[in-house]
């Protein structure tokens, strides 16, 4: 049944007017237990969702909506390996990569656990060889630098995690990431490297992504005549892919091809062999701890009742804002330097999953299915875009994410950092009333006219909602749990809003057009293009012809 037909949906719709008129200040004043009632403590973190514009009536209806949408049934089917990615005809089993399934699941007659464990032990062996210095380049030099060539899900997860776990890094090997087909990125990194001690990891689920394959070919060319190509590929390249035959066709040795499977979505793949750079950076045991943390969130998501289920609660709050209250964006604001890539990672995870408008029934949704995700390190954002968060007429709900334990030894810093994080969510919630502003200005000795002139600019309406996720400490286990929290939040939101979260048809159109346009840029033939695109091609042609003429003249 269409989700909009359920009484819970209609009830929620009718509650938006009332909630637009409520203020978070009042909700807290009315209920001294609010913070305790609307927060949840898990072994890894505290989730405080009390600063959200929900009251008991909204909460009850949101939970009912989740039940009406059969979230529990979809959850069970996903973890049982049923084909819940229906447009691609696949199960969704990233939880199998971390031992998060409730029981054995086989895909195409093969045990998912056996596949996963087999690949993990290959990864472990490889990482150990690398760390022991047993892996050498074609001239016999020890491998000291590893460059991951991959984009999207084949890049963001590994780099985000490695950055987040800097404090846990082994020193043996340096990691580098190249995701952009803009040669400036690869050229810059190659300039820092010694080819004799460099290993490239070509990471691509499909092994067809043009950015990655172009970078892989350029990396191979970089070696020039150092050794015959087959030897270069053998000693300096490994592949991580769900299309091993394509990696082998590229020339990568079969024993250097690490595999994952089409039941792992690219943006959910960091737990698979795509996490090879993570295991290299923090060691295999650290990688295992990351997987274990995610598995503990898998169990929580499967077992906790909906009203005590962190991913479900976050999904409900998120859809309440984007679908009902009309707040189209959501900010991710980490207060932990190490989490600086989390907003970018979650942008892909959430927007590639839920940025859809066709329902599972193949109909136009007619409602917002997910927010625009954006953000950056909160403390830097405070000095950049928080003005907008505090005083723009647009309300942007936010997630504040921090850690009780600092990731460094410097005294005095961490309290300042956390005080800022707590203060910002408090300021967004409470704001400052006109009355308060007037009193403050008067106390500072301003005359009545001046007070009157300045007061409107200083008023903060407040009532801007947020979640706070406060980790005990940031380590591989808790990071795994945090990432899986968001993964399941995304899934729960998609299920309730009746969309398919695990496909990404929207990214295909542009890829196809780029492939067709590339030869036209070179030839200048733009006859079949719209006027704007033809104009761009024409300008490109004129500038390149002009610079060629200049080169010739010079």
Ligand X SMILES: O=P(O)(O)OC[C@H]1O[C@](O)(CO)[C@@H](O)[C@@H]1O
Q: Of these residues, 231, 415, 511, 522, which one is catalytic? A: 511
> 69 CB contacts (<8 Å, ≥6 apart)?
3, 6, 495, 496, 497, 498
At its nearest, how many Å lie between ligand X and the CB of residue 507?
Answer: 4
Q: Of these residues, 17, 364, 383, 449, which one is catalytic? A: 383
Packing angle of the helix pair 71-79, 276-303 (nearest 10 deg) = 140
The answer to whether the beta carbons of residues 12 and 55 sit under 8 Å apart is no
At its nearest, how many Å lie between ligand X and the CB of residue 61?
Answer: 34
Distances (CA, A) of 427 to 191, 326, 420, 437, 445: 47, 22, 10, 14, 24
Q: Which residue spans within 429-494 are E strands per DSSP?
A: 466-471
- The answer to whether residue 352 is catalytic is yes
Distances (CA, A) of 5 to 61, 247, 359, 528: 14, 48, 14, 45
Decide: is 152 part of the binding site for ligand X (CB under 6 A).
yes
At its nearest, how many Å lie between ligand X and the CB of residue 148?
Answer: 11
Sole residue written with tokens 């082998």:
248
Instruction: Identify which of residues 154 and 323 has a Cβ nearer to ligand X in the complex.
Output: 154
Piece of 206-214, 287-295, 305-313, 460-468 that binds ligand X (CB under 6 A) = 206-214
Q: Which of 160, 260, 162 is nearest to 207 (CA)?
A: 260
At its nearest, how many Å lie between ligand X and the CB of residue 266?
Answer: 3
Instruction: Identify which of residues 152 and 311 has a Cβ nearer to ligand X in the complex.
Output: 152
Decide: is 205 part of the binding site for ligand X (CB under 6 A).
yes
Instruction: Identify which of residues 61 and 369 has a Cβ nearer to ligand X in the complex.
Output: 369
Instruction: Identify which of residues 99 and 152 has a Cβ nearer to ligand X in the complex.
Output: 152
- The answer to whether residue 511 is catalytic is yes
> 254 CB contacts (<8 Å, ≥6 apart)?
244, 248
State the DSSP code for 203: E
Give Cα 323 distance to the centre of its chain. Answer: 21
At its nearest, how many Å lie between ligand X and the CB of residue 177?
Answer: 13
Structure tokens at 487: 């993964």
Task: Determine the size of the site formed for ligand X (CB under 6 A).
Answer: 14
Q: Please, is 419 exposed, middle or buried when counting C-beta atoms within 10 Å of its C-beta (0-12, 13-18, 19+)? A: exposed
Residues 252-271 that bind ligand X (CB under 6 A): 266-267
Instruction: Identify which of residues 266 and 397 has a Cβ nearer to ligand X in the complex.
Output: 266
Q: Of these residues, 196, 336, 352, 438, which one is catalytic? A: 352
At its nearest, how many Å lie between ligand X and the CB of residue 454?
Answer: 49
Among 81, 91, 137, 153, binds ligand X (CB under 6 A): 153
Sole residue written with tokens 């990615």:
85
Among 61, 144, 198, 204, binds ligand X (CB under 6 A): 204
Decide: is 297 part of the binding site for ligand X (CB under 6 A).
no
Sole residue written with tokens 């305790």:
36
Decide: is 209 part of the binding site for ligand X (CB under 6 A).
yes
CA distance 539 to 527: 14
Piece of 53-61, 152-160, 337-345, 445-453 that binds ligand X (CB under 6 A) = 152-160
The answer to whether the beta carbons of residues 250 and 220 sit under 8 Å apart is no
Piece of 9-17, 138-146, 149-157, 451-459 that binds ligand X (CB under 6 A) = 149-157
Among 16, 206, 358, 420, binds ligand X (CB under 6 A): 206
Torsion-angle region of residue 105: left (phi > 0), alpha (psi -120 to 50) or beta? beta
Instruction: Identify which of residues 279 and 349 has a Cβ nearer to ligand X in the complex.
Output: 349
Q: Please name every residue paired with 330 in a beta bridge, in sequence order, or none if there are none.
A: 373
At its nearest, how many Å lie between ligand X and the CB of residue 242?
Answer: 8
Residues 498-517 that bind ligand X (CB under 6 A): 504, 507
Residues 388-407 that bind ligand X (CB under 6 A): none
Q: Which of 320, 306, 364 is nearest to 75 (CA)?
A: 306
Residues 324-353 that bind ligand X (CB under 6 A): 352
Piece of 94-102, 202-210, 457-465, 478-486 that binds ligand X (CB under 6 A) = 202-210
Could you give the string, one character per residue 350-369, with x where binding to ligand X holds by CB under 6 A and - elsewhere? --x-----------------
CA distance 465 to 17: 16
CA distance 2 to 10: 12
Distances (CA, A) of 499 to 193, 316, 341, 358, 405: 45, 15, 27, 7, 38
Residues 460-489 that bind ligand X (CB under 6 A): none
At its nearest, how many Å lie between ligand X and the CB of residue 155?
Answer: 8
- The answer to whether residue 383 is catalytic is yes
At its nearest, how many Å lie between ligand X and the CB of residue 357?
Answer: 18
Please identify every residue annotated as catalytic: 352, 383, 511
Interface residue list for ligand X (CB under 6 A): 151-154, 204-206, 209, 212, 266-267, 352, 504, 507
């Amino acid at each position: 049944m269409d989700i909009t037909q359920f009484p819970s949906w209609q009830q929620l719709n009718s509650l938006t007017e009332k909630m637009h008129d409520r203020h978070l200040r009042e909700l807290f004043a009315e209920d001294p237990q609010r913070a305790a009632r609307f927060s949840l403590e898990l072994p890894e973190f505290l989730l405080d969702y009390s600063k959200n514009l929900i009251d008991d009536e909204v909460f009850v209806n949101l939970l009912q909506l989740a039940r009406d949408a059969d979230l529990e049934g979809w959850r069970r089917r996903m973890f049982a390996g049923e084909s819940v990615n229906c447009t691609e005809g696949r199960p969704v089993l990233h939880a199998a990569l971390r031992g998060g399934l409730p029981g054995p699941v086989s895909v195409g007659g093969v045990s998912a656990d056996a596949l996963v464990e087999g690949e993990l032990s290959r990864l472990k062996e490889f990482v150990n060889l690398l760390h022991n210095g047993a892996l050498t380049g074609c001239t016999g030099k020890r491998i000291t630098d590893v460059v991951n060539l991959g984009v999207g899900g084949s890049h963001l997860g590994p780099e985000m995690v490695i950055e987040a776990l800097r404090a846990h890094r082994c020193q043996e090997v340096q990691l580098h990431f190249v995701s952009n087909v803009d040669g400036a990125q690869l050229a810059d990194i190659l300039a820092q490297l010694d080819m004799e001690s460099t290993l490239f990891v070509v990471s691509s689920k499909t092994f067809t992504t043009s950015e990655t394959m172009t970078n892989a070919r350029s990396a191979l060319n970089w070696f020039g005549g150092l050794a015959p190509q087959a030897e270069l590929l053998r000693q300096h390249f490994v592949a991580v892919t769900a299309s091993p035959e394509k990696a082998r066709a590229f020339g990568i040795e079969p024993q250097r091809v690490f595999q994952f499977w089409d039941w792992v979505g690219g943006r959910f793949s960091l737990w698979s062999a795509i996490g090879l750079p993570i295991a290299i950076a923090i060691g295999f045991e650290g990688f295992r701890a990351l997987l274990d943390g995610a598995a503990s969130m898998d169990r929580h998501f499967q077992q906790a009742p909906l009203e005590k289920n962190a991913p479900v609660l976050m999904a409900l709050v998120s859809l309440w804002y984007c679908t009902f209250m009309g707040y189209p964006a959501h900010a991710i604001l980490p207060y932990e330097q190490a989490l600086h890539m989390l907003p970018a990672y979650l942008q892909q995870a959430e927007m590639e999953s839920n940025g859809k408008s066709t329902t599972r029934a193949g109909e136009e949704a007619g409602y917002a299915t997910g927010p625009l995700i954006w953000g950056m390190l909160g403390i830097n954002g405070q000095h950049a875009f928080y003005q907008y968060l505090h005083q723009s007429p647009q309300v942007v709900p936010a997630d504040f994410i921090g850690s009780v334990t600092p990731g460094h030894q410097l005294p005095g810093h961490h309290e300042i950092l956390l005080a800022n994080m707590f203060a910002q969510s408090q300021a967004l919630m409470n704001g400052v009333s006109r009355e308060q502003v007037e009193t403050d200005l008067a106390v500072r000795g301003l005359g009545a006219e001046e007070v009157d002139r300045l007061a409107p600019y200083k008023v903060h309406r407040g009532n801007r909602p947020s979640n706070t996720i406060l980790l005990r400490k940031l380590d591989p286990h808790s990071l795994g749990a945090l990432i899986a929290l968001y993964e399941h939040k995304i899934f729960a939101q998609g299920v309730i809003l009746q969309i398919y979260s695990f496909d990404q048809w929207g990214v295909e159109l542009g890829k196809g057009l780029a492939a067709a346009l590339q030869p036209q840029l070179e030839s200048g033939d733009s006859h079949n293009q719209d006027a704007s695109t033809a104009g761009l091609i024409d300008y490109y042609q004129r500038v390149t012809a002009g610079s060629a003429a200049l080169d010739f003249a010079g």
